[in-house]
Amino acid sequence: MTNANVEADATADRPTKEIVEFDPVGTESVTAQMATAVAEATGREVTEIAPLGEWVDCDAIETLFAAHDHDHELSVSYEFEDCDVFVSNMGRIVVTPKTGYDDV
């Protein structure tokens, strides 16, 4: 997983958007990468955020992305940890925090 772009918020000195690129046909868990992207966007460790499985069906997302034809785009979006999360099978996760996370 690599950070493709982080747009800085000039007033809060925190990222306003975390864009992560990943290998959509790789062996790394898509949902683990989603949780890590949310943690990074909010300036926390992944162990400091709620378990992703309490908000979305991680097994269903893993199955959906693994079984999908990668010649056609598939995306999932949801809200988690006060962030908008967008995931595409083309290898992109975009996390947009709705609030600042100065002292979390």
- Tokens of residue 82, six digits: 């006060």
Pair 42, 104: CB distance under 8 Å: yes
Does pLDDT of 10 surpass 60? no
The C-alpha R_g of the chain, in whole angstroms, comes to 13
pLDDT band at 100 (very low <50, low <70, confident <90, very high): low
To the nearest whole number, what is the mean pLDDT of the chain?
A: 81
Crossing angle of the two packed helices 30-41 and 58-67, in degrees rounded to 10: 120
In this structure, the number of other CB atoms found within 10 A of the CB of residue 23 comes to: 11
